[in-house]
Amino acid sequence: MPSLPRRHFLKEKEAEQFLASISKKLKVNPYELFGPKPRIERAETKVAEIFFVNEKPIMAKSNEMLFPTLKFEKLFTFLPKIVVNMGAVSHICNGADVMAPGVVRINGNFNEGDFLLVVDERYEKPLAIGVALVNSQVAKNLTHGKIAKNMHFVGDELWNLLKSL
Report the candidate in 122, 162, 118, 165 with the shortest Cα–Cα distance to residue 139.
118
The model's pTM? 0.92
| Domain assignment of residue 101, given as a range | 75-160
93 and 154 fall within a common domain:
yes
Query: What tens digit of pLDDT does each residue of 48-89 get?
Result: 999 999 999 999 999 999 999 999 999 999 999 999 999 999
The answer to the question of residue 1 being in a domain is no
Query: What tens digit of pLDDT does each residue of 114-139 get?
Result: 999 999 999 999 999 999 999 999 99
* Phi and psi at residue 24, to the nearest 5°: -70, -45
- What pLDDT band is residue 4 in, cutting at 50, 70 and 90? low
Report the candidate in 82, 87, 94, 96 with the shortest Cα–Cα distance to residue 132.
82
Residue 71, burial from CB neighbour count under 10 angstroms (0-12, 13-18, 19+): buried
CATH number of the domain residue 22 falls in: 3.10.450.120
Quote the CA–CA distance of 45 and 24 in Å, as a whole number: 25
Number of domains in the chain: 2
